[in-house]
Structure 1
Amino acid sequence: MVRNYKRKTERGSATPQLMQEAADFVRNKNKSVRESAQLFGVHYSTLQRFIHKTSGNTAKNNTHVGYAKPRQVFTCEQEEELVSYLKTAAAIYFGLSPREVKELAFKCANEAKIEMPDNWRNDKYAGKDWFSGFMKRHGQELSIRQPEATSLSRATSFNKHNVELFFSKLSSLMDKYKFEPQDIWNADESGVTTVQKPRAVVAVKGTKQVSSLTSAERGQLVTFCVAVSAIGGSVPPMLIFPRKNYHDHFIRDGPEGSIGACHPSGWMTQDNFLLFMKHFIKHTKATVEKPILLLLDNHQSHVNYDVITLCKENGVVLLSFPPHCSHKLQPLDRSVYGPFKRYPSSAQNDWLRSNPGKRMTIYDIPSQVKKAFLRASTPINITSGFKVSGISPLNTNIFDDWEFAPSSVTDRPVRQQCEQDAAKAMQDVLEISKSVDEHWFSSTSASMEPHPSSSTASEPLPSTSTAVGPQPAVASFITDQVETANVGESSLCPEKIMPHPKATPRKKKCNTGRKARKKAILTDTPERNALFAEAIKKKNKKNDVKEKKATKKRKQEFLHKVRSKKPVEKYDISSSDDEDWARRERWVVEMCGNKNGAPSLR
């Protein structure tokens, strides 16, 4: 079959409207066929056949003009239905592979009883010639792409409800503090490893395996933390090394003005982030009189009472993103960390080529980070990230409806119980805030004017782990895509043959011990006081666990002495043990002289 045929003439390209006008000119004006054909620019024999076909009772609108496509399986309208279905499937992150498209085409043709080639029936899927022609006919709309892995949490959480609430909080802060672009910052972490991803190389064609040298099989991670502003500026970064003790020579070759820290895992911790915030405040010169806005995610190291207190005392207003939405809302993720990840890989390949036989260590990473950071953190990249995320300049309608389409697969209607739980949780936060204000924060509450608590209480926010409300805009987008073609006798209806996935009702999540976070103004008094109460509760829980372990150890030692019939010293009843244990202990001591031995305490 000729796959790359190119038309050599323009014959048969006249539109039905033009042919109809030429035919009416012959009938109504009593002109000859040749004269009308010359006037309208069509061939006289083509016009003659068209007049003959449209004469009599033949319907004029159904008359075909030009060359037919006898080998095409589906009509143009039916292929438009397939295109609409494929576009919708890709928009909700359930795109079809070429093989799946061929299988869908066969099922549609079989269901609609359309004549198809014999190899379709034998193989149970369409042939490669049809798929190649289908992609060429719709090359302006469809293409074969390598998808990017996206977690279910991100697809579910990035919905219209969460985004609108985030922008409402951002708008309220902009109206209250009148932040300018140089006052808006974003901070986040990324990782650099000693084992780089190999680049594409030129090799012998047909070779089954092409290898590239790396430093080791498994690398060590160094965490990289930086903050950027909406005008393209940045704060010197911070590097966290996987070591127990930190030394200044670790960052000797790193970016100018950078700082370092250590942790055995190489990850960001609460203490390290507190150190970074002091570094950030030093360079931004933030004050209570001239506050700045810092956007960051809900990582456990960021939501820390000490960090929030430091920020409140120095005029840094913290606003957190909705969980699992940083891939769309965080400027660093949108335009800086992408190129930053590519540049160290190239630099590591050059280092291995310049140092054959040597193994790269974590102390070689700062020099590579220095080059990559200067190339990736350009003012154009940074400002583009703030622009495409709708933060600066503020654009609450930056995201189209099709970008929320993946969340429609897992959206569930909000149940009344979920709303009551969310309202009760918010009321508990306000009560904790009020009690903490009365006892601990009477002296420091005037350092920065907080938001009225009524604005927080009026917005009971469901977490991303619970169901979000219905999203009419996303639903209408999918409906429009599915119902693009007119449904009739010749309709394929691929949606009926292979329905788009839809999640089942959500099961109740088990308690994993981690508190579900949501978008919040962390420096507001209610949020800060709630975090303070959580810290006290967590500390008391640790103390209780230690006390239980110590008590259990004393009991085991005592029972060991009793069962081995060794002298037992009486314990002080006024000790920290409970009254019941002291009573049982005295009873065991009295029973030690029994000939049957001491009883076992369980």
Structure 2
Amino acid sequence: VKEESANEAPLDSQMDVLVKEESSVNRMAPIKKARKKKSVKKAVKRTFFKYDEDQLVQAYSAVELGVSIRKAARDFNVPYSTLNGKVRGDSSLNRRMGRTAVLTTDEEQLLCNYIIANANKGIALNRHTLIETVQDIVTEDKRKTPFTDSKPGRAWLRSFMNRHPEITERNTETINKARAAGTEDNFRYWCKDLENFLEGKGCSDILLDPNRIFNADETGFRTSPKTGQVLGLIDDSNLYDVGSGNGKECMTVLTNFSASGKVVPPMIVFKLQKIRHEITNAIGTDWHIGKTAKGWMTAEQYSDYLEHCFLPWIRKQDIKFPILLLVDGTRSHCTYNVCKLCSDNGIIQYAFYPNATHIMEPAAVSVFKPLKSGWEKVVSDWNRETHGKPVTKPVFGKLLGTVFAENLTEDRIQNGFRKCGLYPFDPNAIGFSKCMNHSSRANLPVNINNDKTKPIRWEVEHLLCLESLMKRGRAEEFRHSESAGSWTGDIEATELFDLWRKIRSITMEQEVITPPAHLHQSIERETPNLKDVTTICVPEEATEHPQDQGVENTPRCIQERNVEKTNTQTENSGIKQKEVGVSPAFLNNITW
């Protein structure tokens, strides 16, 4: 019995295990109930201004005539709540969202006129000056503003520019006073004189043939141009670019091309005593090579270029003589030998109006800038490929040939002659917007914000005294460098050259530029009238001789209306609405 019970015990345990396994196999997994997805309603984007402003004005007029608000809203498709709010006077008829603006509509318009008037005078404002002007206005007027220290930020400036798309930020072109003195009348007289001169020579047909009109001018190319903006760590304020070779070395290049878009072989002037064979082999046979002691253009080199490069090229192209060669009035172009060479060989050399190449010369208008940009790119690629090898004189000619081939296209050259009104000959095509053609532009104020600033009068005697203290020949070197655009001599004399050039540029003007008295007059009125603002917008000369002022030269002021009246009558519907004018603080800070 004991043996049987001992044998049955393990059998029972085995049966229990089998039953548990079977039950685990046959056990059904619990059924998961599917969750109901919550229906999420998409937010409907609100739309505004589904009606025209004219519809709102017509609906408002209908209510004034006795029509019910609901019927007028339905007839003119204007929201009832909107029309009801306009009728009750909760808001003006102007469709404007958001909080009340810091400046009124009239003040912002006057601010735009202020910006435009100063830009026409050559005193263009930047964003910082504009923001500081608004800060002065609201501070003096003691207005409550959401700005920190009453100074508008970038958001306000962005909104202001959006509200006034006629105002935009652009890069300025810095010119000296001598360039700014050129007027539209001067350039038109120059064009008329050119026509009369050619008619007197019996060759006015030159202006009808683009193959017979040429423009020649010099420019400089640095062997190590500036890199410009580079990439680096945001915290690293010291980023350097190790230049290749002498960063002060600049090569003079004489360019020449016709109104038809053809490029005459240029000339490179090297600072050499003797031209080596590796230079001539690298540059090629078409280009002309000159050598001077300073590396600048001289009358001898220019005459040599005309005789041995330009004239043979003209004859090879079978171009009809005489031809017109337009140049600037530098000394190297106007010597007796040069003029005699041109006269004997059918070249009519004619100079541009003084200090007007930025307006009238095709090379300066459309050619030099792409050439300089292409040169910087080619030199950058060269430095990267050669790991910073210097641009030697043989390499310079090779790289410059690549730049000319890639950037001097016929369309670009033809466009330059067209912009300058030279071919087709049309004085109206000249960019007169660059001229200081308004009478108010003739006297540019030195500093309109500081009454205590006294102008310094530099006389020619001061310049002569400075030159007498220099070593022999230094003044002549400075004059050559001024025509080239930068000092390429001894590094120790760089500061002296900058000082000499500043004094020379001032003495060339031969006048003291003082701010007009009316710029500092404070305008204080308790109840200003925008009619009086026109005396600020228009210069004194314009008020004295209104018939002499052109429409495009007079700043447009906002329409005259009395701001003392809080209710004004619109022209179309006779609707009464609130108008806020210009505060005295605004007029005290916005002066022309």
* Structure 2 residue 238 is the aligned partner of structure 1 residue 164: no
Q: Residue type of the partner of 1:132?
A: R
Question: What residue number does 1:370 align with?
Answer: 401
Structure 1: distance between partners of 2:547 and 2:377? 43
Structure 2: distance between partners of 1:495 and 1:145? 27
Structure 2: distance between partners of 1:331 and 1:400? 12
Q: Is the 8 A contact 1:274 1:307 kept in 2?
A: yes
C-alpha change, 1:234 and 1:129, in structure 2 (3 Å) is closer
Question: What residue number does 1:150 align with?
Answer: 175
Structure 1: distance between partners of 2:146 and 2:83? 37
Q: Is the 8 A contact 1:292 1:316 kept in 2?
A: yes
Structure 2: distance between partners of 1:293 and 1:351? 38
Q: Is the 8 A contact 2:222 2:248 kept in 1?
A: yes
* Structure 2 residue 159 is the aligned partner of structure 1 residue 133: yes
**Shift of residue 117 of structure 1?**
2.0
| Partner SS, residue 283 of structure 2 | coil
Structure 1: distance between partners of 2:198 and 2:339? 19
* Structure 2 residue 143 is the aligned partner of structure 1 residue 115: yes
Matching of residues 305-316 of structure 1 within 5 Å: 305-316=336-347
CA offsets, 1:278-309, max 9 Å, x none? 12112113999831111000011001111111
Q: Is the 8 A contact 1:331 1:382 kept in 2?
A: yes
Moved more, 63-72 or 207-216: 63-72
Q: Is the 8 A contact 2:60 2:83 kept in 1?
A: yes
Question: What residue number does 2:31 align with?
Answer: none
* Structure 2 residue 277 is the aligned partner of structure 1 residue 252: no
Question: What residue number does 1:281 align with?
Answer: 311
Q: Is the 8 A contact 2:297 2:332 kept in 1?
A: yes
**Shift of residue 114 of structure 1?**
6.6
Q: What is the RMSD of the two structures over their aligned residues, measured on CA atoms?
A: 3.5
Matching of residues 316-327 of structure 1 within 5 Å: 316-327=347-358
Question: What residue number does 1:497 align with?
Answer: 589
C-alpha change, 1:236 and 1:482, in structure 2 (3 Å) is same
Q: Residue type of the partner of 1:184?
A: I
Aligned residues, how many? 430
Structure 1: distance between partners of 2:286 and 2:232? 42
Q: Is the 8 A contact 2:245 2:390 kept in 1?
A: yes
**Shift of residue 75 of structure 1?**
1.7
Corresponding residue to 1:191 among 220, 230, 243: 220
Q: Residue type of the partner of 1:203?
A: G
Structure 2: distance between partners of 1:492 and 1:93? 27
Question: What residue number does 1:480 align with?
Answer: 554
C-alpha change, 1:385 and 1:39, in structure 2 (3 Å) is same
Question: What residue number does 2:76 align with?
Answer: 40
Matching of residues 75-90 of structure 1 within 5 Å: 75-90=104-119
Structure 2: distance between partners of 1:345 and 1:224? 15
Q: Residue type of the partner of 2:220?
A: G
Q: Is the 8 A contact 1:268 1:301 kept in 2?
A: yes
Q: Is the 8 A contact 2:420 2:431 kept in 1?
A: no
**Shift of residue 155 of structure 1?**
1.6
C-alpha change, 1:65 and 1:327, in structure 2 (3 Å) is closer
Q: Give the alignment's TM-score, normalised by structure 1.
A: 0.64
Matching of residues 179-258 of structure 1 within 5 Å: 179=206, 180-216=209-245, 218-254=247-283, 257-258=286-287
Q: Residue type of the partner of 1:198?
A: T
Q: Residue type of the partner of 1:36?
A: A
Structure 2: distance between partners of 1:165 and 1:129? 48
Q: Is the 8 A contact 2:223 2:246 kept in 1?
A: no
* Structure 2 residue 416 is the aligned partner of structure 1 residue 385: yes
Question: What residue number does 1:21 align with?
Answer: 58
CA offsets, 1:207-239, max 9 Å, x none? 212222311453322111121111101211111
Matching of residues 329-348 of structure 1 within 5 Å: 329-348=360-379
Identity of matched residues, %: 23
| Partner SS, residue 405 of structure 1 | coil
C-alpha change, 1:24 and 1:219, in structure 2 (3 Å) is closer
Structure 2: distance between partners of 1:495 and 1:224? 53
| Partner SS, residue 262 of structure 1 | strand
C-alpha change, 1:294 and 1:21, in structure 2 (3 Å) is same
| Partner SS, residue 87 of structure 1 | helix
| Partner SS, residue 365 of structure 1 | helix
Q: Residue type of the partner of 1:280?
A: F
Structure 2: distance between partners of 1:354 and 1:136? 46
CA offsets, 1:525-570, max 9 Å, x none? xxxxxxxxxxxxxxxxxxxxxxxxxxxxxxxxxxxxxxxxxxxxxx
| Partner SS, residue 261 of structure 1 | strand
Question: What residue number does 1:297 align with?
Answer: 328
Q: Mark the runs of 5 or more structure 1 residues left unpaired by the alignment.
A: 1-6, 55-61, 413-463, 501-602
| Partner SS, residue 290 of structure 2 | strand
Structure 2: distance between partners of 1:351 and 1:135? 42
Structure 2: distance between partners of 1:47 and 1:118? 30
| Partner SS, residue 480 of structure 1 | coil
Structure 2: distance between partners of 1:289 and 1:232? 17
Q: Is the 8 A contact 1:340 1:376 kept in 2?
A: yes
| Partner SS, residue 555 of structure 2 | helix
Q: Mark the runs of 5 or more structure 2 residues left unpaired by the alignment.
A: 1-43, 444-507, 512-540, 564-580
Q: Residue type of the partner of 2:554?
A: D
Structure 2: distance between partners of 1:172 and 1:350? 49
Q: Is the 8 A contact 1:238 1:259 kept in 2?
A: yes
Q: Give the alignment's TM-score, normalised by structure 2.
A: 0.65
Structure 1: distance between partners of 2:285 and 2:587? 57
